[in-house]
Structure 1
Amino acid sequence: MRGPNLKRTLLMLTVVSGLSACDSGTKSTEPPHASLSEAGPASQYTIEHNRQVAEALPLDRQTDFDQANQGLIARDEVLEIKDESGRVIWNMQDYAFIQGEAPDTVNPSLWRQAKLNNLHGLYEVTEGIYQLRGYDLSNMTLIEGESGWIVVDPLTTKETAEAALAFARKHLGEKPITGLIMTHSHVDHFGGALAVLDPETQGDVPVVAPEHFMAEATSENILAGPTMKRRAVYMYGRDLPKSSYGHVDTGLGKAPAFGTVGIVPPNVLISKTGETHTIDGVEFQFQYTPNSEAPAELTFYLPKQNAFCGAELLSRNMHNLYTLRGAKVRDALAWSAYIEEARQLFNQADIYFASHHWPIWGQASIDRFLRGQRDTYKYIHDQTLRLAYKGHTPNEISDMIRLPESLALEFSNRGYYGTTSHNSKAVYQAYFGWYDANPANLNPLPPAAASKKYVEAIGGSEVVFQKAQAAFKKGEYRWAVELLNHLVFAGGGDKAKDLLSQAYTQLGYQAESGPWRDVYLSAALELKQGVGKDLISLAAAKDLLKHAPVEKFFDAMAAQLNGPEAEGENISLNVHFSDLKQSYQLWIENAVLHHRPLNEIGEADATMHISHDLFLDVILGTAKLKDLLFSDQLSLEGSQLDVVTFFSLLDKSGEPFAIVEP
């Protein structure tokens, strides 16, 4: 049945096009603010803050630089990677400014980490183990088997993985891919898999991943995607210029790549610690570490080389117990315990390498590193609880907690990515939730309403601005931000936004954490320029999303149902996926959207027959209206009006929402 109502129906289908399967691996055009002029200079207080950081740390220690340079085989000094359309998706030359002493506008500790992450190329870790670093946020590792290469973690995108493999083959020789290991379920460790293997022709090549990998890899962020995607713009500084006044590093690596994302389903799942598998003649001993840094994760040991791959259980920085883009908090105690388990299991290892950063050689050095990582997470966990036992709240604890010197002076434990501040809040949240037990925080006024009353109580906009200006001039930027945030949310105008932008800029310049710097500077930029257009498209992730359970998309549709408008509506819709031979019923009841699988198509107000492929195209917004109208992959039976009403009740994702303004 086709006609005007069906046209409207098809247009309504596009309301779900804002769903997100990953927070950093989808395609993007050039950031809208990439050519902005540089921000203002560092204040005298910021210069002094950064000077004190430099004096407190052994920044001239060369061990990390020696390790990061060890084993270099070749380096592509240009290292520019483009997609099929010619758009540059990765360019290490963007970071060429990171050399010499730290400028006043960058925390010198973060600058040191950024210099280390700038060291890129093809490296020999030891005989038979090679790494490509600096081709993406993460590393690709190649392990030489009897007849080919075993690839570990194929980066974020097809384009960056292809470039890395091509560079390796140029210098190491042509060999087939005889194994693929995806250590965990975050996109920067599997998104480029289709550059490594074609699922249609891979044959019996083993593809190894932790148990529940596919569910976690394909489902992460679908429900929370639109919000995570927006927040990730801040966390990774997507719209910032790459300069000493903008984005310099994430701490974990340079930045996520934005290109074509896919996945190769595993045929070997690791479900327990101690599993041993031989791949192309190479013995692997696996450790299963779920719900640590990722919901599905593993590490492994190579007896022949006496080498331990720590995946992302370990990093050369403090990691996130809570990630600023928004995610479920991670279990600090379990994470610490897994590290200790690895230390005991693989204590004979004299080589450590991982999914990020550079290796470590020598048993004593590896043991010290593992002990430090183990105790960093456990210290934050234990001390957060100790202070909570005394009644301290999350904000108080985050301001009180400091790592002991034995941990803090080791650069691998520094807060380049996670921080003691927001990680302690994650521990508190994991045990106690959002409520700090103070009744004043049980049902507070929303931000805009509270801000208007604060400004009025203090004496009006001009008084608040003067107090904020005085705080800014004294270098009290956190207090200035608090006052100015209220003023902006109370409608304080451009003057307030400009000073708030300046305060955020100084906090960004002082931040040791790459994400904190990016968040502050992104906020400063947005206050000046307004909300940039969200140019992230999910079309490049179709090869990943096609493996996601259909039910997840229905859950996301339910989260987009406009409850107030749906009140009183009772509509049922059958959806039959002709190619999958699967049927589902969707129905609205009590302003809630439900779904259930059907063994056979039953009665409903309407029935839609659609291919899974076309369903994805509709969700991704890549299907054109004329293609849909005349497609043999779609037919509709029953009430077209009910179908139109059904989809009209789903909110469209719309433009990116405001963060630093009401």
Structure 2
Amino acid sequence: MPTMNLRHRLLGSALLLLTPLSAAAEPASEATRKTNTAALADLPMTDRRDFDFAARGFVATLEDPIIRDAAGKPVWNIQGLAFATGDAPSSVHPSLWRHAQVLGKAGLFKVTDRIWQVRGFDVANITFVRGGKGWIVIDPLTATETAAAAYALISEKVTKLPITGMIYTHSHVDHFGGAAAFSAMMLKDAPILAPQGFTRAAVSENVIAGPAMGRRAGYQFGLGMPKGPEGSMGSGIGIGVAAGSRSLVPPTQEISETGTELTIDGVRIRFQVTPGTEAPAEMNLGFPDWAVVDLAENANVTQHNILTPRGAVIRDAKAWAQGLTEAIDFFSGAEVLIASHGWPRFGTSEITDYLGKHRDAYAYLHDQTVRLMNKGLTGPEIAATLTLPPALAKQWYDRPYYGSYSFNSRAVYQFYMGWYDGNPVHLAPLPPETGGKRYVEAMGGAARVKALAQEAFAKGDYAWAAELLDKVIFADASDSAAKALLTRTYRQLAYQSENALWRNMYLTGASELENGVAAADPTGGAALVSQLPPSDLFDVLAVRIDPAKAGDGFTALGFTFPDKQAQHTVTVANGVLVHRPGLRDGRQATLTVRYADLLAALFTGQPLAAKIASGEAKIEGDPAAFARLIGWLDKPDPAFNIVTP
């Protein structure tokens, strides 16, 4: 998480532009206080290793905690979790409070004599490896502004050097979005490495499905929610997700095989390719001469997601576990482990134990979900019963700050079986609005359902209260009393959640019930598309053809992009857009235009007529052919409703 989906998110260029929302000072109820107090008794609070690992090697941080863009607008606050001191308040699960305390330390850290990390400047870490002539950068964060701030800090506190290589461990935007910050200081022919399939995976999540994933990422990461004891507690893998400018500097080489070994700027690096794990395209890497391993996002300071709440391609829990088994052997003898989020681990025995128990958490999840699935249990039934074994549950890094067994077991079920549980009643379920009206009527009307919900709320049965109130609201979106009670219900559920993402989603749902849906980025990922080949643009346009507008129409267009030295032919028939390289016979028209000008016309509404009139662009053949294509395109709605009809 990780979507650009913030993780997507924004992890992405479909980033939601949420304005700050106020979290009402809803107190923790007596039921919530009891729940969180009981949870504290079961936690291994005497295990303080993480505090040592997270603080080790600290060098310095920024004097001004606010990182700003070129216009002076804040995009990040490195002190976002600084409030998490002392004992946990009743409005935060004590395990999540402790996790925020460890996660919140931001700044420059010396990991070894040759490796530094800047942590807490974004949702992810950026790693600087000292080569013979300069820095090799691993995972250049989500935003160019935060990446630039990290480079400025290491330049000031260690030494300022050119960039002699860049490595993207995987295809989520928080691991490549800040790359353009280093373009000016990269030496000529400096390699940019990524795992095989990186570009395709990045485009798929961040552009093709970007509007929907970006909207959901707003919930997942609590974008716009204030941080604090009644607000967001971060993301579970970072303080939050930086705003700012996203970029993509395409890789110059993709790593396709485990065992590949390269020497970059005098530094020997070995790669383990792990497709289908935390990202569709991902890899681990090691520095054999220094006994250091980078496990990317395959080993974390928290249980991860097999399917992120923002949406994504489902990960393969079995492959994830097998990849960690392979990593234990492939990087045997490592004395230092770094990762893309969180803090390092030190000592060979510590690392071996950590990887083994982290592996076991994913293996147990997979194996037991499948075992129960094969006994006839459905995804929700498995989620209600499956828990970590005690030996794994007492490991802080296996706890559910980001992913959870409840969510992940349903994802494993879906990986094998799909969303359908085999019950014919679920073949064609009623839409939420229709079902809500019928359920409310069957239960005796809205007043009766709200009374039942109020009784459940008073008893601390918040999950049931939420289900009841959700039916009322989808039956009647104007029911302010139901919205008010569901808002309070969501806040109590948030306060009880050990999972940072669940907390964010409950709080964001509560805020939207009070304030409505915030505005969203209308450009739909144009900034990212501009840095990718034109074929990726046509993939985006294909999912925006509205068959109701296109009907049985047909058009065939050629596109020549002089600035990209590329030509393509696009046809639309049967409501389907197909694109091929080159100019093909049968074209009704050919448009010659700069790629950026076409993007401006498609995504920001700047007409091409002026460009054609000035000669900067030209169209040969039937101009109506291009007009037909434009007229058939639908505009995504990245601000769609979630908690209301």
Corresponding position of 1:191: 177
Amino acid at match of 2:604: G
Q: What TM-score do the two structures reach when normalised by structure 2?
A: 0.94
Relative to structure 1, is the Cα distance of residues 393 and 636 closer, same or farther in structure 2, using a 3 angstrom cutoff?
A: same
1:132 paired to 2:118: yes
Match of residue 297, structure 1, among 282, 295, 320: 282
Matches within 5 A, 1:450-489: 450-489=435-474
Distance 2:172 2:302 in 1: 18
1:362 paired to 2:353: no
Corresponding position of 2:82: 96
Amino acid at match of 1:658: N
Relative to structure 1, is the Cα distance of residues 241 and 117 closer, same or farther in structure 2, using a 3 angstrom cutoff?
A: same
Corresponding position of 2:482: 496
1:558 paired to 2:542: yes
Matches within 5 A, 1:586-605: 586-590=570-574, 592-597=575-580, 599-605=582-588
Q: Name the SS of the counterpart of 2:234 in structure 1.
A: coil
1:229 Cα deviation from its structure 2 partner: 1.2
1:74 Cα deviation from its structure 2 partner: 1.3
Q: Name the SS of the counterpart of 1:178 in structure 2.
A: strand
Does structure 2 retain, via aligned residues, the 8 Å contact 1:27–1:259?
no
Distance 1:360 1:635 in 2: 59
Match of residue 492, structure 2, among 506, 510, 514: 506
Corresponding position of 2:192: 207
Match of residue 232, structure 2, among 247, 253, 264: 247
1:28 Cα deviation from its structure 2 partner: 9.3
Corresponding position of 1:388: 373
1:583 paired to 2:567: yes
1:400 Cα deviation from its structure 2 partner: 0.6
Relative to structure 1, is the Cα distance of residues 32 and 310 closer, same or farther in structure 2, using a 3 angstrom cutoff?
A: closer
Relative to structure 1, is the Cα distance of residues 633 and 321 closer, same or farther in structure 2, using a 3 angstrom cutoff?
A: farther
Deviates more, 1:643-652 or 1:374-383: 643-652
1:627 Cα deviation from its structure 2 partner: 5.9
Relative to structure 1, is the Cα distance of residues 632 and 212 closer, same or farther in structure 2, using a 3 angstrom cutoff?
A: farther
Distance 2:522 2:217 in 1: 11
1:141 paired to 2:141: no
CA-to-aligned-CA distance 1:470-510 (integer Å, 9 cap, x gap): 11111111111111111100106111111111111111111
Distance 2:613 2:215 in 1: 35
1:202 Cα deviation from its structure 2 partner: 3.3
Does structure 1 retain, via aligned residues, the 8 Å contact 2:474–2:644?
yes
Q: Name the SS of the counterpart of 2:340 in structure 1.
A: coil
Q: Name the SS of the counterpart of 1:301 in structure 2.
A: strand
Q: Name the SS of the counterpart of 1:264 in structure 2.
A: coil
CA-to-aligned-CA distance 1:19-47 (integer Å, 9 cap, x gap): 99954155799965425253411111111
Amino acid at match of 1:193: A
Q: Name the SS of the counterpart of 2:22 in structure 1.
A: coil
Amino acid at match of 2:149: A
Matches within 5 A, 1:517-528: 517-528=503-514
Q: Name the SS of the counterpart of 1:555 in structure 2.
A: helix
Deviates more, 1:307-316 or 1:254-263: 254-263
Relative to structure 1, is the Cα distance of residues 181 and 54 closer, same or farther in structure 2, using a 3 angstrom cutoff?
A: same
Does structure 2 retain, via aligned residues, the 8 Å contact 1:26–1:537?
no
Structure 2 unpaired stretches of 5+: none
Corresponding position of 2:145: 159
Distance 2:150 2:168 in 1: 16
Relative to structure 1, is the Cα distance of residues 27 and 581 closer, same or farther in structure 2, using a 3 angstrom cutoff?
A: closer
1:625 Cα deviation from its structure 2 partner: 7.0
Corresponding position of 1:12: none
Relative to structure 1, is the Cα distance of residues 97 and 28 closer, same or farther in structure 2, using a 3 angstrom cutoff?
A: farther
Deviates more, 1:68-77 or 1:232-241: 68-77
Match of residue 618, structure 2, among 635, 645, 653: 635
Match of residue 411, structure 1, among 396, 399, 406: 396
1:314 paired to 2:299: yes
Corresponding position of 2:331: 346
1:392 Cα deviation from its structure 2 partner: 0.7
Distance 1:348 1:146 in 2: 25
Q: Name the SS of the counterpart of 1:123 in structure 2.
A: strand
1:648 Cα deviation from its structure 2 partner: 2.0
Distance 1:21 1:565 in 2: 34
Structure 1 unpaired stretches of 5+: 1-17
Number of residue pairs matched by the alignment = 641
Distance 1:56 1:370 in 2: 23
Q: What TM-score do the two structures reach when normalised by structure 1?
A: 0.92
Corresponding position of 1:10: none
- Percent of pairs with identical residues: 40
Relative to structure 1, is the Cα distance of residues 146 and 33 closer, same or farther in structure 2, using a 3 angstrom cutoff?
A: closer
Relative to structure 1, is the Cα distance of residues 218 and 20 closer, same or farther in structure 2, using a 3 angstrom cutoff?
A: farther
Matches within 5 A, 1:229-308: 229-308=214-293
Relative to structure 1, is the Cα distance of residues 285 and 604 closer, same or farther in structure 2, using a 3 angstrom cutoff?
A: closer
Amino acid at match of 2:494: G
1:92 Cα deviation from its structure 2 partner: 1.9
Corresponding position of 1:652: 635
CA-to-aligned-CA distance 1:570-607 (integer Å, 9 cap, x gap): 333333323334333333322x1222325335333433
Distance 1:421 1:60 in 2: 26
Distance 2:124 2:341 in 1: 5
Distance 1:380 1:615 in 2: 47
Corresponding position of 1:617: 600
1:60 Cα deviation from its structure 2 partner: 4.4
Alignment RMSD, CA only? 2.4
Corresponding position of 1:179: 165
Deviates more, 1:525-534 or 1:211-220: 211-220
Does structure 1 retain, via aligned residues, the 8 Å contact 2:32–2:495?
yes
1:532 paired to 2:503: no
Does structure 2 retain, via aligned residues, the 8 Å contact 1:561–1:593?
yes
CA-to-aligned-CA distance 1:150-192 (integer Å, 9 cap, x gap): 2111111111111101101111122222222221111111111
Does structure 1 retain, via aligned residues, the 8 Å contact 2:23–2:511?
no
Distance 1:284 1:438 in 2: 51
Does structure 2 retain, via aligned residues, the 8 Å contact 1:262–1:542?
no
Match of residue 59, structure 1, among 45, 69, 90: 45
Deviates more, 1:96-105 or 1:626-635: 626-635
Distance 2:522 2:579 in 1: 31
Deviates more, 1:352-361 or 1:618-627: 618-627
